Structure 1
Amino acid sequence: MYEPIRGTSVHSTTNRTSSDFPHRSREEELDIQLAGHLAALLAVTDELRALAPADDLDIAADRLAGQVARLRAGQAPARVPVTAARADARPAGLHRRAHTLASRALVVAASRADTAVAILTAERMDAHSAALEPRELASR
């Protein structure tokens, strides 16, 4: 019914030395994961900047870009031009997405004990939460 396997498995390491394929340490894996979360948060922040420019978003974007570059050994992240706002973008949805990305980055930053990124992502979570809260004074 089944044909027997004739060759060695590509997943087997018994016939090979450990230098046949690259290994990354846990710290390197966490750096890659954290840089990805921060780069995604930066893209959403840039999109928010395009919809509603604000100084705090500019500062946050620069700080995020600096952290991504640090984690990627100096390689600058791709940036969304401020003029590239989508017509169908909703600020509330972007704030929710940014809050989610910041929380994911905070978990990874905490696991790798990166205090600077943990503080930055916690600040971004607070800022995006505040942007989503209904304005009590405006409703009165």
Structure 2
Amino acid sequence: MYEPIRTKSVHSTVAGSADFPHRSREDELDIQLAGHLSALLAVTDELRGLEPSGDLDKAAERLATQVARLRGGMAPVRMSVTPASDDLTSLHQRAHALAGRALVVAASRADTAAAILAAEQMDVHAAALSSRELASR
């Protein structure tokens, strides 16, 4: 029913095979963590565009520093953001979720600085969501 496989597997793990690049688990976690923190930085920049504050400015700078560290010194690309949404609640929810993802990866990578930053951002956005919920009642 099926034709037999006639080519070598691309997933071959033959020792000494340098046919494709290999990354360590730590490298993969660095890439993943940098991605989550970059996404969190983008949402933070959107929030800064809607409601400027010194706290958001500091958070954005700390996030940019962590992303640059994880990317080997390459600063994240940032631009003046025109917010795609003016719904602050959904932006805070997105930021909270991204910070949570970053926290999980930072914890599995044992990156204390990134984990602390992610946990602080989770707290900030959870507090913002709580205050918005109380204000809407």
TM range (shorter): 0.7 to 0.9
**TM alignment of 1:1-140, pairs within 5 A:** 1-5=1-5, 7-13=6-12, 17-82=16-81, 84-86=82-84, 88-134=85-131
Give CA-to-partner distance per residue, 1:31-87, whole Å, 9 cap, x none.
Answer: 0000000000000000000111010000000000000000000111121314x223x
1:4–1:26 Cα change, 3 Å: closer
* Equivalenced residues, count: 137
Q: For 1:87-133, what per-residue CA distance to the aligned partner results, in whole angstroms no more than 9, with x for missing partners?
A: x4311000000000000000111111111111111110010011011
SS at 2:45 equivalent: helix
- SS of the counterpart of 1:65? helix
Q: Distance in 2 between matches of 1:62 and 1:101?
A: 17
Q: TM-score, normalised by structure 1?
A: 0.86
Q: Which runs of 5+ in 1 are unaligned?
A: none
Normalised TM-score (structure 2)? 0.88
Highest CA radius of gyration, 1 or 2?
1
SS of 2:131's equivalent in the other structure is coil
Bigger Cα displacement from structure 2, 12-21 vs 102-111: 12-21
Identity of aligned residues (%): 69
SS of alignment partner, residue 74 of structure 1: coil
Report the alpha carbon displacement of residue 21 of structure 1 after superposing the two structures with TM: 1.2
Distance in structure 2 (CA, Å) of the matches to 1:16 and 1:30? 24
Aligned-residue Cα RMSD (Å) equals: 2.3
Contact between 2:89 and 2:132, CA under 8 Å: does it hold in 1?
no
Which runs of no fewer than 5 residues in structure 2 stay unpaired?
none
Instruction: Give the distance between the partners of 2:87 and 2:136, measured in 1 at CA.
Output: 21
More displaced, 115-124 or 8-17? Answer: 8-17
**1:56 alignment partner, SS class:** helix
3-state SS of paired residue (1:134): helix
